[in-house]
Amino acid sequence: MTIVIENSAKTIFHIPLQPFSGKGLNLSENCCVALVMLGNTPIIIDEPEAHLDSNLIAKYLVELVKTVKKNRQIIFATHNANFVINGDSELIHILTMSDSKVTNSCETSIENMDYREQLLSLEGGADAFRKREKKYFPQAVMG
C-alpha cells in the first residue's frame, strides 16, 4: 500500500506503508502516519489513541515519532503512555483540573521521579515504563 500526497509546492510524496498486522492499516491509521511523516512544521495531534489500534501505537508509531521528531516538533494530547514514555518525550505537561474547574499544568520529564505516579496512571503506563527500562537498562527490574 502506498499513500501519495501532493503538497502546495507540487512535491509528490510516495509513502510506502507495510500492513501492521495481518490486516492493512485503516484510513485513520494511514492518515496519522502520513501527517506525522510529512513536513517540518509543528504538528498537534489530539488523542490519537481514540482512533488508532494500541498495537500500532506501541510497535510502529512510537518509533516513527522518535525518528520524525528530530526534524519536527510533535505535540500530543494523549492518555496513552506509549507516546509519552516510549516516544522519549523531552517535555511533558501533566494537566489536572481542580474542584473549582481550574486547569493546572506541571512540567516534568520521564526521569523526574516526583511525577512518576501520574505518568504510571496513563493508559499502559506500567507496561510503557517496563519496555523503556528493558531497552535502556536491561539489567534493571521494575517493581
| Shared domain check, 83 and 59 | no
**Structural domains in the chain (count):** 2
pLDDT digits (tens, 9 = 90+) for 70-91: 888 888 888 888 888 888 888 9
pLDDT bucket at 3, cuts 50 / 70 / 90: very low
Cα end-to-end distance, the chain, whole Å: 42
- Which residue shows C-alpha cell 521521579? 113
| Shared domain check, 59 and 14 | yes
Q: Of 72, 91, 123, which residue constitutes the final position of a domain?
A: 72
- Cell numbers for 11: 512535491
The answer to the question of residue 38 being in a domain is yes
The answer to the question of residue 28 being in a domain is yes
Distance CA 54, CA 56 (A): 5
Distance CA 108, CA 138 (A): 24
| Shared domain check, 64 and 86 | no
State the pTM of this model: 0.65
Q: Which domain holds residue 133?
A: 79-137
Q: What is the pLDDT of residue 102?
A: 95
pLDDT digits (tens, 9 = 90+) for 14-71: 445 454 454 566 655 666 666 676 778 888 888 877 777 777 777 777 888 888 888 8
| Shared domain check, 65 and 35 | yes
Q: What is the pLDDT of residue 26?
A: 64
Q: What is the pLDDT of residue 15?
A: 47
The answer to the question of residue 64 being in a domain is yes
